[in-house]
Copies of this chain bind each other. A is one copy, B any other.
Amino acid sequence: MSPAHRSRLLTHITADLVVLTIRSGQLHVLVVERDNEPFAGQLALPGGFLRGDETLDRTAARELREETGMDPGSLHLEQVGVYSDPDRDPRVRRVITCSYLAIAPNLPVPTAGSDAREARWVTVARLLAPRARLAFDHKRILADAVERAREKLQFSTVATAFCDAEFTIGDLREVYEAVWGVELDRPNFHRKVTDADGFVVSTGRKRTSAGGRPASLYRAGDAETISPPMMRTPRARK
């Protein structure tokens, strides 16, 4: 693809996953505990090496299934960035990683899949705290993916990917509040979301959860973008 034939470089490629979900109002990410060096015993993002006949997107989907037991077809999975610092892996001097943001509802059990090591949910806040450590440059990768998620909530309808097939407006509001770390005005949120074209579709059914009036159930609409965008108004945290 270029004339610089003299110094081509062969490298290893991995797809690493930042799987996000909401559990009890907190943004969580799926991490595994490493059992090999380097960084044995430390927390890391799940991921794995590219194989011969697949695209990176497929690698990401496969690893998601293998390492976490989740179904990649059912959740939002998108490329975020490439990490290519020559020294990011102390062993081999060169491993390039493409990171993926995956958004999952809370339903699937956080526990491991078939051949997986132990995988578990940890709050993002804890892993991004100044003192926290993750293997490799995974803290940076996590931060970038979370930032991407925060931005996407504003202009796209991905927030529904955090919810089950049927959800209430309150569920959806919790997603925004957890990801953005703000408290939103309930009445205004309700209007904005139900008025937005193709964001949510009423199913007619209702869900009656502990305490309070039963909430109408919705499913995700066809639209992928919201215009005008959802506004992330700064207020005090819950």
Question: Number of contact residues on A: which range applies?
Answer: 35 or more
How many chain copies does the complex carry? Answer: 2
**Is the Cβ of B1 less than 8 Å from the Cβ of A8?**
no
B3 x A54 contact (CB < 8 A):
no
A96 neighbours in B (Cβ, 8 Å): 13, 56
Establish whether residues A98 and B82, one from each chain, have CB atoms under 8 Å apart when the complex forms: yes
Q: Is the CB of B7 within 8 A of A10?
A: no
Contacts of A27 in B (CB 8 A): none
A47 within 8 A of B: yes
Report A224-235 CB contacts with B as 1/0, cut-off 8 Å.
000001000000
A117 to B97, CA, bound (A): 31
A7 with B52: CB separation less than 8 A:
yes
Interface residue? A81 (CB, 8 A): yes
Shortest A145–chain B CB gap in Å is: 14
Q: Would you give the shortest CB distance from A33 to chain B, in whole angstroms?
A: 13
Q: Counting CB contacts under 8 A, is A164 at the interface?
A: no
Contact across chains for B49 and A2 when beta carbons are under 8 A apart: yes
- A81 and B84: CB pair below 8 A? no
Chain B, residue nearest A48 (CB): B2
> Could you tell me if A9 and B12 are in contact, using CB atoms closer than 8 angstroms?
yes
Knowing A44-B1, A229-B229, say if A49 contacts B86 (CB, 8 Å). Answer: no
A10–B11 contact, CB under 8 A?
Answer: yes
Would you give the 0/1 interface string for A1-21, flagging 1 where the beta carbon is closer than 8 Å to chain B? 111110111111110100000
Check: A79 CB closer than 8 A to any chain B CB: yes
Instruction: Write the A61-85 contact mask toward B (1 if CB under 8 angstroms, else 0).
Output: 0010001000000000001011011
Binding site for B on A (CB under 8 A): 1-5, 7-14, 16, 36, 44, 46-57, 63, 67, 79, 81-82, 84-86, 89, 94-98, 115, 117, 136, 155, 229
Q: A1-B14, A155-B155 are in contact. List 11 more A-B contacts (CB 8 A).
A: A1-B48, A1-B97, A2-B46, A2-B49, A2-B67, A4-B49, A5-B49, A9-B51, A10-B10, A50-B84, A53-B86
